[in-house]
Amino acid sequence: MAELDQQALHSEMTAWRRDLHAHPEFGFEERRTAAFVAEKLRAFGLEVAEGVGGTGVVGTLTRGSGNRAIALRADMDALRIAEQGKQAWRSQTPGTMHACGHDGHTSMLLGAAKLLANEGGFDGTVRFIFQPAEEWGRGALAMLDDGLLERFPFEEIFGLHNMPGLPIGHFETRSGPVMSAEDNFEIVLKGLGGHAARPHAGQETLVAACALVVNLQTIVSRRLSPADVGVVSVTELITDGTRNALPGLARILGDCRNFRSEVSAAIEKEMRRIAEGTAQAYNVAAEITYTREFVPLINDAALVDEAFAAARMVLANNGVHVAAEPMTASEDFARFLDHVPGCFVFMGNGDTAPLHNPAYDFDDEGLLHGARFHAAVVRRRLALGS
C-alpha cells in the first residue's frame, strides 16, 4: 500500500476543515456536512452508511482477517452563535458557527480514514462514526437508538476534542472521571401579579425568585460533602412583570454538574426541598422540572494506557500529559461508554479564543496530529499478527 505524503494530506485536511467551517449546521440539520463526509469516505474506498440516528454517518474499513472491531468518533454539529471572525472561511450561515471545533474533529477523522485506507498497517475492522447533535446531548443516543451497535458492532471506542490553551502537538487525558454529567432544571413560581404601588394586594413572585436563587447556592456549600464535586448554576431569571407591574410568574432556569449519580440525586432532592420551602415562605406556588441531559464521561484505565502509548508514537514524549483533574464540562461521547469501554482525549489547539466563543477558530496546525493519533490507536489496538 502507498504511503501518503503527510504535507499533502495536511493541506487537503485544511481545505476540508475550512469548507466545513464556512458551512456550519446545527444538530440534526447536518445534511450538507453528512453528504460531504460520505462522499469523502466512499472516495477512500470505505463502506458507508448514511442517516444513522438522523444525520449520522458510519464508515467501515476492514483489512486482513482479524475479527476484532474498534470505533473512532467525531462530532459534526455547530452552535447557534454569530461568528465574529474575519477569516476568508468564516461562517456563511448567519447566527451559526463552528465555535467548538467540530469542523476540525470531522476533518481529523476523515484524514485518519484516508491514511488508514491507503497505508493499512492493521488487522481487523474500524468503524468511523460521524455523530450529529453532540452540543445538546442527543446525537449519540439517536445513533444508539437507531441500532448503531447491532448494525456496526465494535468492542471499544476512542474520541478526541481540541483544547484551546493547550499547545499544538500536546495531548492529555486521565483514567476514570474525565467530564461531568449535566442536569438541567426549571423552577416556575406562580402567584398573583399586580400594581407596583400595591405589593400587599397580590402575591408577586420576583422577591421570592431572588431569594430562591440565593438559597440554591447552599446546596453545594452546605448540603454536599466537600469530597464531592458539584456545581449548581442559575443561568436565567424570567418574569412577566414590567416597570410598574409586579410579576405573577417567574421562571428560574439553570444547570448542575456532577460526577456521580448519587450526587445528582442529592442535588435534585435538595433543590426540590429548597424551592418548595421558599415558595411556601413567600406564599406562592412552585413547580420544579429536573432532567438529566448528559451522563459522566468515565475513561477505561487500560484504554487510557493504550491512548498514551499511541500518542507517544506520533507526538514528542514531553507533549503527552496526564490531566490533573476532571473538568465540569459535558460531552455525549459518554453515552457510548455506557455500552463499551473507551477513552476520550484532549489535543492542543494553541492560543485560540475559548470554546463556544464567537471569535473561536480551530487551528489547522493541529489537524495532522489528530489524524495520526487516530491511526496510531487503530494500529495498536488492531495490531498486525496479534
Q: What is the CATH number of the domain that holds 57?
A: 3.40.630.10
Residue 16's closest CA among 352, 346, 367? 367
Task: Tell me what pLDDT residue 316 has.
Answer: 86
| pLDDT score of 85 | 86
Q: Is 256 annotated as a binding residue?
A: no
As beta bridge partners, residue 163 has: 348
Whether residues 172 and 189 share a domain: the answer is no
- Are 115 and 248 members of one domain? no
Q: Helix, strand, coil: what percent of the chain each, to 5?
A: 35, 30, 35
The pLDDT of residue 385: 82
The confidence score (pLDDT) of residue 169 equals 96
Looking at the structure, do residues 327 and 289 belong to the same domain, yes or no?
no
Structural domains counted in the chain: 2
Query: Is 368 part of any domain?
Result: yes
pLDDT at 89: 98
Q: Which residues of the chain have pLDDT under 70?
A: 1
Both 34 and 114 in one domain: the answer is yes
What residue has cell string 461531568?
180
Residue 13, domain member (yes or no): yes
Last-in-domain residue among 262, 294, 326? 294
H-run or E-run covering 333: none
Residue 264 and residue 173 share a domain: no
Q: Does 149 share its domain with 16? A: yes
Show which of 261, 294, 327 is a domain's final residue.
294
Domain of 204?
181-294
170 is in an annotated binding site: no
pLDDT at 1: 67
Select from 257, 273, 294 the last residue of a domain: 294
Residue whose cell numbers read 456536512: 33
Q: For residues 163 and 341, give the distance between their C-alpha atoms in angstroms, rounded to a whole number.
A: 23
21 is in an annotated binding site: no
> Rounded to whole angstroms, what are the CA distances from 243 to 97, 196, 239, 240?
36, 8, 11, 10
Please indicate if the annotation marks 100 as binding a ligand. Answer: yes
374 annotated as a binding-site residue: no
- Residue 187 sits in a domain whose CATH number is 3.30.70.360
